[in-house]
Amino acid sequence: MSGAILYRNQAATVVLIDVPQSIRDAQQVPYTLRSSPALNSPYPSTEPKGSKREAVLNTTTMGEQHYHESVQREIHAALIEIRTQLHGQGGVWCHPRHALTSHHDSTSPSPAQTSIPEWSVSTDWFSTGVPVVLSTTERRNKFRALDDLHGTIVYNIRSETAIVEVGGLGDFIVPSGSSFILASLERGFPSFLSARHALSPEKKNLELILMDPPWPNRSVRNSNAYRTSEAQAKDPFLQAVGIARDFLAPEGLLAIWITNKSSIRARVLQTMQTTDLHLHEEWIWIKITSQGVPVSQLDGVWRRPYEILLLFRKGQPLQDPVRKIVASVPDLHSRKPCLKVLLEEQLPPKYSALELFARNLTAGWWSWGDEVLKFQHESQWYDYGRSEEGC
């Protein structure tokens, strides 16, 4: 069992996973990921009560209410199951964490703490489409500016971690066997297409495509945390669907993160039907405190403490898709648990994977997005500076 998996039942339908450890394990790097402190108690409630709550419920369909009630029942049962097992074994809900501080350990700016425009793709770069293969003999690779990496595929062919040093910004960690495209889907597509032919000429198709589209979100839009779909000229979800349609292997797995909005779920299910992809499994990520309780009211109508990952395959649709409950203490905003260790159980031993709208890299995977290096910066790793002295 992976060090990130703190509990898993025999049927693998209930899992407790540590977010920072899952990311570190998936990257196979010798550093410790910095994180936000583990939440010890739920957020203060802002949920409506009484007649105000009823008014909100009256705006939702009975089907949607019944769906969330069934999800919440399974979450409640799963947390009881985990608590019982941890109590008997003296287990914990999460590993100890190293807090992400301002700039105490690095003189370079941190992508996680800088405004979005500085770390998004600029509009004046031009990509040649020629892949950048990092050095096979030297661990450190130097680039004048981040624009040198925009819009082209960067590939670490080494079986070890590589370092990309960018003038004025510091170091970025690139896991072994990983590739990335620092670009939107629209701007990065020519590079992706040419790179698939150049780097994987014998294998066009991908066994796994994972995506976390920037769905419309009022709170995120107001906070300017990242660009939602409303801020982009072309619908990023439809662009991603086109890539999945053309590059997903016949027996491949397509995994899509969605919000709790019923219209988003309906849109995804309807769109997938047009590509002959059907819901295979549904993974519910429930965010909990370090004491194992939901971070907000489980049956909240304004804010629900869970997100959903839908898994699709080709073939006959299942009448009752498998549901898995994945619990974890959340980390920084927009940093989800890396579910590589769980997804690999449904993939062949040698597989090719692509993550769209990625905000970090994964060893052996292709990662693509205009914030793909967001959490790869040296400031995100607790012991990076000491490990790299003399590098």
- Contact between 282 and 311 under an 8 Å Cβ cutoff? The reply is yes
pLDDT at 355 exceeding the cut of 60 = yes
DSSP-derived 3-state class of residue 195 = helix
> What is the pTM for the complete model shown?
0.90
Q: How many folded domains does the chain comprise?
A: 1
What pLDDT score was predicted for residue 199? 67
Residue type present at position 208 = L
User: Which tens digits make up the pLDDT trace of 223-279?
Assistant: 445 455 455 568 999 999 999 999 999 999 999 999 999 999 999 999 999 999 999
Q: Which of helix, strand or coil describes residue 262?
A: helix
> What are the tens digits of pLDDT across the range 160-185?
999 999 999 999 999 999 999 999 99
Tell me the average pLDDT of the chain.
88
Q: What percent of the chain has pLDDT over 90?
A: 75
pLDDT of residue 265: 96
Residue type, 11: A
DSSP for 228-252, written as a single string = -GGGSSS-HHHHHHHHHHHHEEEEE
- Is-contact 258 217, C-beta < 8 A? no
Parallel/antiparallel/unpaired status of strands 277-287 and 306-314 = antiparallel
Cα–Cα distance between 290 and 284 in angstroms, integer? 18
Task: Out of 185-194, 251-260, 278-287, 339-348, pick the least confident.
Answer: 185-194
pLDDT band, residue 282 (cuts 50/70/90): very high
Res 349 pLDDT > 70: yes
Whether the pLDDT of residue 159 is over 80: the answer is: yes
Non-local CB neighbours of 348 within 8 Å, separated by 6+ positions: 207
* Mean pLDDT score, 89-108: 73
Domain membership of residue 115 as a residue range: 5-40+49-387
Residues with Cβ within 8 Å of 320's Cβ and at least 6 positions away in sequence, in order, are none
Lowest mean pLDDT among 115-129, 205-219, 294-308: 115-129
Quote the pLDDT of residue 100: 78
Cβ–Cβ under 8 Å, residues 11 and 87 = no
* Unique residue bearing structure tokens 């395959």: 313
Q: What is the pLDDT of residue 222?
A: 46
Residue 218, pLDDT score: 58
> What CATH number has the domain bearing residue 134?
3.40.50.150
Q: Which of 270, 267, 371, 283 is nearest to 317 (CA)?
A: 270
Q: Shortest CA distance to 281 belongs to which of 299, 255, 260, 263?
A: 255
Say what the pLDDT of residue 129 is: 64
* Pairing assessment for the beta strands 98-99 and 34-35 based on DSSP bridges: parallel
Q: Is residue 22 pLDDT above 50, yes or no? A: yes
In 175-192, which positions are buried (b, 16+ CB within 10 angstroms) versus exposed (e)? Answer: bbbbbbbbbbbebbbebb
Instruction: For 116, list phi and psi in degrees, rounded to 5.
Output: -55, -45
Residues 283-299: tens digit of each pLDDT:
999 999 999 999 999 99
pLDDT at 361: 98
Structure-token pair, residue 284: 């519910």
Of the candidates 326, 245, 322, 254, the one whose C-alpha atom is nearest the C-alpha of residue 287 is 326
Phi, psi angle pair for 365, to nearest 5°: -105, 160
In this prediction, what percent of the chain has a pLDDT beyond 70? 85
pLDDT confidence tier of residue 117, bands split at 50, 70 and 90: very low
Positive or negative torsion for Cα 47, 306, 267, 366: positive
As given in the structure block, the two tokens for residue 99 are: 């807090």
SS3 285: strand
**pLDDT tens string 29-47:** 999 999 999 999 999 999 9
